[in-house]
Amino acid sequence: MSVSTDTQEIIINIAKIMINELKLEDVTPETFDPDIDLIDEVGIDSMDLATVALVLQDKYGMKIDEDDYPKLTTIRLIAKYVEGKL
């Protein structure tokens, strides 16, 4: 499956994955603020991040190193990280 590597589309894809995998309510991929702090504001923890990372790894065929989790605090930062690995 080919996937878009455009940053904005990666952001939307990550938001979709988060909403689906973590069952987040009252938010859509389009309204999910890519700069909101996922830990301090959304309440995401390392198990959530691991869940999202697995799906992202499958989708984009790259590996997210667990040691990098602490840096991945917003959707935009995750998108840039993914982009850098493609």
| Residue 83 engages other proteins in binding (rule: CB under 8 A) | no
Among 7, 16, 21, 36, binds other proteins (CB under 8 A): 36
Q: Within a 13 Å sphere around the CA of 68, how many CA atoms are in the beta-carbon half? A: 12
Among 16, 22, 34, 59, binds other proteins (CB under 8 A): 22
Among 11, 12, 14, 32, binds other proteins (CB under 8 A): 32
Q: Which is nearer to other proteins, 22 or 83 (CB)?
A: 22
CA distance 27 to 46: 21
Amino acid (one-letter) located at 82: V
Per DSSP, which regions of the chain are E strands? none
